[in-house]
Chains A and B, each alone.
Chain A
Amino acid sequence: MSILLKDVHRAFGQNHVLRGLDLEVLDGETLSIIGFSGAGKSVILKHMVGLLRPDSGDVIVDGRNVSELDVGELNELRRDIGYVFQFAALFDSMNIAENVAMGLRRMPDMYDDEIMARVSECLALVDLEGTEDRYPSELSGGMVKRAGLARAIATKPKYLLYDEPTTGLDPVTVTVIDRLIVRMKEELGVTGVVITHDIASAYRISDRIVMLHEGRIRTSGTVDVIKESRDPLLRSFLEGRPELAERAS
């Protein structure tokens, strides 16, 4: 099953962010969404997990239309989706083990010892063994992001949504996170959607890249296709040259 967005419109007051967006994420692939700041990339992710509902159009995840689900059905779907927030959104009143365990505590038939075993497993997967008793404020930026990833994968989701997972990190930590994202796909077989401004990172982790502009997909293709594209707006973004964007508009 894949993720499908059909003719999605979403406005915030006068700001019409998504304007008939069509997007398909294929099963098992990692898709990166790039685009200028404020283009609505995070809004797309929030629609996929039901944090936002479209004004019109359909958001279909795992064969289920997200806007038509009641709270119980939506929670059921959310157990199959892991969401890695831009700033991790860890619960600052809880230690790392409690944070990672949060999703597991909503799983039926999971007992404390199983939960703690899974927590240790997830923390090991993101190289954070031994941080169970530490609080988010005691970790570095990279560790916080990895803890957020551990929390997102704890329930063994089919889909992982990453909102700018490498923003604000040093180059080495960026590579560590990139490798983790690739590992999630290869070892756990998850379908990934990544919002990123980091082009080098997008090239490393993506099967496909799409560019969002003015509420719709402007360009879409494999990493090679994107690299070869002559679209001036895309080139402007990839090369960081605003004059190309001005020419395109």
Chain B
Amino acid sequence: MNGFVLTPVEYVGRWSINRVRSLGKAGYLTTGALRALRNVEIWGPRLLTQMVSVGVASVPIAVFIAVFTGIVLALQASYTLTGAVPMYLVGSMVGKSMITELGPVLTGLALAGRVGASTAAEVGTMRVTEQIDALETLAYDPLAYLVVPRVLAGVLMFPVVIVLASAVGVLTGWAASLTLLDMSSAEFVRGLRLFFVPFDVQFAVIKSLSFGLIVTSVGCFYGFHAKGGAGGVGVAATRAVVVSSVLILVLDAFWAVVLL
């Protein structure tokens, strides 16, 4: 009887303790990384490499996703609106959806997979092969060397990649409208400009900044606390992708509630 009653209680207790412990570790990592910002001589030379790795290398997958999203959006809009409202609203729907929602979220999720997994795997491998310990013995702050350049690169490059992807999505939506929907450029552009406000871009950039921060921080967190060998690194990479994807969706809703 005791076992029956205690087991769920123990489970909840253990789960709660682990969550609190994780929060503590995350807080420790965050304050350490903030403190490590002053060690510019350590993270500065590594920032450009990370910006290329996080940003430039992510452009192909982001553009690939945007191309198809733009086309589908135009066709979906046409399918929904035909006969009900003027067709130039296809431009409005493509522009608004791509810039404020689908561009940031779909690109963010794709980058959560690419950047989040590679960050957790790289840092995790360094952890389990004692390379992080080696950094410390060589008088390097591992947070300044590993975490700060990756997180800064995420914050700086996610908006660039996401804005580029959104632009590509709008362009392919426009191209699809011309070639597949028999719309004119003037119609599409009229619709695009009708509901466009500069704040849409600001909104997308704010979301992108937060996605970049979350994806790289979560990847570093799980990599930094990886345990064991290859299995531990795999677990870290998987968790990084799952947790950052969930947090991207939560943040997306949060920004919608706060800013719209």
Q: Which 3 A-B pairs have the closest CB atoms?
A: A75-B139, A89-B134, A89-B130
Which A-chain residue is minimally distant from B141 (CB atoms)?
Answer: A71
Query: Contacts of A90 on B, CB cut-off 8 Å?
Result: 131, 134
Which A-chain residue is minimally distant from B126 (CB atoms)?
Answer: A91
Query: Contacts of A151 on B, CB cut-off 8 Å?
Result: 138
The reply on A149 being an interface residue by CB < 8 A is no
Find the residue from B131, B137, B140 having the highest chain A CB count within 10 A.
Answer: B137
The reply on B133 being an interface residue by CB < 8 A is yes
**Are A91 and B141 interface neighbours, CB within 8 A?**
no
Of A18-26, A76-84, A115-123, the segment with at least 4 beta carbons within 8 Å of chain B is: A76-84
13 contacts between A and B (CB under 8 A): A71-B141, A76-B139, A83-B133, A83-B134, A83-B137, A89-B131, A89-B133, A89-B134, A90-B134, A91-B126, A102-B135, A102-B138, A106-B140
- Distance A51 CA – B29 CA, assembled complex (angstroms): 16
Q: How far is the CB of B222 from chain A (nearest CB, A)?
A: 19
The reply on A49 being an interface residue by CB < 8 A is yes
With A85-B130, A87-B130, A89-B129 as contacts: A51 and B137 at CB distance below 8 Å: yes
Q: How large is the interface on B (under 10, 10 to 19, 20 to 34, 35 or more residues)?
A: 10 to 19
18 extra A-B contacts, CB within 8 A, seeds A83-B134, A102-B140: A46-B133, A49-B137, A50-B136, A51-B133, A51-B136, A51-B137, A76-B139, A78-B137, A78-B138, A83-B133, A83-B137, A85-B130, A87-B130, A90-B131, A91-B126, A92-B131, A103-B138, A106-B140
- Distance A84 CA – B190 CA, assembled complex (angstroms): 68
Which B-chain residue is minimally distant from A152 (CB atoms)?
Answer: B137
Query: Contacts of A106 on B, CB cut-off 8 Å?
Result: 138-140
- Distance A92 CA – B134 CA, assembled complex (angstroms): 12
Q: How far is the CB of B41 from chain A (nearest CB, A)?
A: 9
Query: Contacts of A49 on B, CB cut-off 8 Å?
Result: 136-137
Query: Contacts of B141 on A, CB cut-off 8 Å?
Result: 71
Q: How far is the CB of A180 from chain B (nearest CB, A)?
A: 19
Query: Contacts of A85 on B, CB cut-off 8 Å?
Result: 130, 133-134
Q: How far is the CB of A46 from chain B (nearest CB, A)?
A: 8
- How many chain A residues touch B (CB < 8 A): the figure is 23
- Distance A71 CA – B144 CA, assembled complex (angstroms): 13
With A89-B134, A91-B134 as contacts: A103 and B139 at CB distance below 8 Å: yes
- Residues of A23-69 whose CB lies within 8 A of B: 46, 49-51
Which B-chain residue is minimally distant from A102 (CB atoms)?
Answer: B138
Query: Contacts of A50 on B, CB cut-off 8 Å?
Result: 136
- Distance A75 CA – B145 CA, assembled complex (angstroms): 14
Q: How far is the CB of B179 from chain A (nearest CB, A)?
A: 45
- Distance A83 CA – B136 CA, assembled complex (angstroms): 10
- Distance A93 CA – B125 CA, assembled complex (angstroms): 11
- Distance A79 CA – B126 CA, assembled complex (angstroms): 21
Query: Contacts of A103 on B, CB cut-off 8 Å?
Result: 138-139
- Residues of A134-152 whose CB lies within 8 A of B: 151
Q: How far is the CB of B206 from chain A (nearest CB, A)?
A: 33
- Distance A151 CA – B135 CA, assembled complex (angstroms): 11
Which B-chain residue is minimally distant from A148 (CB atoms)?
Answer: B134
Q: How far is the CB of A97 from chain B (nearest CB, A)?
A: 15
Find the residue from B131, B139, B141 having the highest chain A CB count within 10 A.
Answer: B139
Query: Contacts of A102 on B, CB cut-off 8 Å?
Result: 135, 138, 140
Q: How far is the CB of A72 from chain B (nearest CB, A)?
A: 10
Q: How far is the CB of B126 from chain A (nearest CB, A)?
A: 8
- Distance A92 CA – B131 CA, assembled complex (angstroms): 9
Find the residue from B129, B130, B133, B135 having the highest chain A CB count within 10 A.
Answer: B130
Query: Contacts of B129 on A, CB cut-off 8 Å?
Result: 87, 89, 92
With A87-B129, A89-B129 as contacts: A79 and B139 at CB distance below 8 Å: yes
With A71-B141, A87-B129, A89-B129 as contacts: A78 and B136 at CB distance below 8 Å: yes
- Distance A51 CA – B136 CA, assembled complex (angstroms): 7
Which B-chain residue is minimally distant from A91 (CB atoms)?
Answer: B131
- Distance A94 CA – B125 CA, assembled complex (angstroms): 14
Query: Contacts of B140 on A, CB cut-off 8 Å?
Result: 102, 106
- Distance A89 CA – B129 CA, assembled complex (angstroms): 6
